[in-house]
Amino acid sequence: MQKWSTFIALTLVSFFSLALVLVRILYSGRFTYIFLNWNLFLAWLPLLFAVLAVRWQKRPFLAMAMAFLWLLFLPNAPYLVTDLIHLEARAPVPLWYDMILLLDFALLGLFLGFISLRLVHGLVSGRFGSAAGWIFVLAVLGISGLGVFIGRFLRWNSWDLFLRPLPLLTDVLSQLTEPRTVVISGLLAILMLFAYIIFAISPGLTASLQQQTYLPGD
């Protein structure tokens, strides 16, 4: 039941996000942020692949294939946060509306990415132990930080690994040791790690707080 509740909530928020873009188009007559719809679709893919990896965990080949696709497309979810770079005053739409619109997509992208990571994290922890699970999370978020950088600054897409692998790898390797690459990718990875830790421990923390009773004079 909880899984379905999460899926329904994410779906409703996604429709709300799309509605914000539609209202903006109808009001302004411009398609300024319509690219967010495509970015949101890409942000849903990691969750889809993670669910399939969990469902097919007893079929190793299929599970590994889904896990690979999950890792490849995972940066598309936090990538939505970087779309905040587009925020600026664009008449006739109020700045506050665009801020809410971009924040909505950014937060939704983070939730989609973290839920998918939580699913795969659980798989790894269940098979190899808790410590291995968190080492896996560190590695994945490091890769994702680099992936977001590649998408935002080098302008490559996830599917370019299949369509144009050599130019992509050549470009990435040439930038890999550049200070800008290291700093931006590292900061993004650290930001995602702290956010994910809070996300991962919050259910247990909430349950613990709910079990405590505070009485006057205690």
Residue 6: pLDDT over 90: no
| Inside any domain, residue 136 | yes
| Inside any domain, residue 62 | yes
| Inside any domain, residue 207 | no
| Inside any domain, residue 7 | yes
**Residues 126 and 120 sit within 8 Å (Cβ to Cβ):** no
What is the 3-state secondary structure of 157-174? CCCHHHHCHHHHHHHHHH
| Inside any domain, residue 208 | no
What per-residue confidence (pLDDT) applies to 12? 96
How confident is residue 213, by pLDDT bands cut at 50, 70 and 90? very low
- φ, ψ of residue 90 in degrees (nearest 5): -135, 95
What per-residue confidence (pLDDT) applies to 153? 95
What per-residue confidence (pLDDT) applies to 3? 72
| Residue-range definition of the domain harbouring residue 134 | 2-201
| Inside any domain, residue 87 | yes
For the chain, what is the domain count? 1
- Residue pLDDT, tens place only, 68-126: 999 999 999 999 999 999 999 999 999 999 999 999 999 999 999 999 999 999 999 99
What per-residue confidence (pLDDT) applies to 106? 97
What per-residue confidence (pLDDT) applies to 209? 45
- Residue pLDDT, tens place only, 191-212: 999 999 999 888 665 555 445 5
- Residue pLDDT, tens place only, 36-75: 999 999 999 999 999 999 999 999 999 999 999 999 999 9
> In the predicted model, what is the mean pLDDT of the chain?
92
- Residue pLDDT, tens place only, 134-166: 999 999 999 999 999 999 999 999 999 999 999
What per-residue confidence (pLDDT) applies to 202? 80
What per-residue confidence (pLDDT) applies to 214? 44
User: How many other C-beta atoms lie within 10 A of the C-beta of residue 20?
Assistant: 19
End-to-end distance of the chain based on CA atoms, in angstroms? 37
| Inside any domain, residue 187 | yes
Write down how long the chain is.
218
What per-residue confidence (pLDDT) applies to 204? 62
Q: At residue 136, what is the residue type?
A: F
Judged on CB neighbours under 10 Å (0-12, 13-18, 19+), 175 is middle
| Inside any domain, residue 213 | no
The SS3 call for residue 177 is coil
